[in-house]
Amino acid sequence: MTSHREIKKQLRKEALARRDALDQFWRIEASLEMAETARDNLQFEPGTIVSGFWPMRSEVDVRPMMFALREHGARLCLPAILDKHTIVFRELVRGAPMVDMGFGTVGPHEEAEVLDPQIMLVPLAAFDKRGHRIGYGAGYYDRAISKLQDKGIEPRLIGIAFDCQEVERVPDENHDVIIPEILTESGLRRFEPA
């Protein structure tokens, strides 16, 4: 019998292949549309801490979305990889130095303030219509979200993906974080908890 891990690995591979096959100019257009959707649909108080991510490979480019949210008063932060198990979220300040984080991504310098996000834009490889996600396999976000919850913080989680990354069903595992909202080029979808 195929393990959950192997099924997830296969679903991840197929979803990412579909995403990689998208036309790069279309991806830019879709990313800009998604920025407008986020701007028009995410209500929050000025000063709310929002974590984004620096896009790698064929991911949705959330930079226009982060700038749109900043215009509405969000304080932005990006994940910084500390070690094989841990990310923290460092404040993204205009003009402050960025450093290579590995994996083809960059993040704020270690002098940047570490923040606890209240809204998290979560990257993912694949998702299903229940809000179950498949990450990239390292578990950084699952652990980071769990650590925030241990502090009593329940961040609003919004998965960021293209429609082509949707799969029929992600195998359930106990440690999985369910993402209640997914933003794709089709709009913002909210999932009812099962």
Binding residues: 8-12, 59, 133-141
The b-or-e profile of 94-111 (16+ CB within 10 A means b, else e) is eeeeeeebeeebbbbeee
Side chain identity at 190, as an amino acid letter?
R
Annotated binding site for substrate: 59
Closest residue by Cα to residue 114 from 148, 142, 84:
148
Find all residues with CB under 8 Å of 52, minimum gap 6, and list them: 62, 63, 65, 66, 69, 76, 77, 78, 92, 121
Annotated binding site for ATP: 8-12, 133-141
- 3-state secondary structure at position 185: coil
Q: Where are the alpha helices (DSSP H) in the chain?
A: 4-20, 24-41, 63-71, 140-150
Alpha-carbon distance 192 to 194, whole Å?
6
The label of the residue with tokens 């974590």 reads: 51
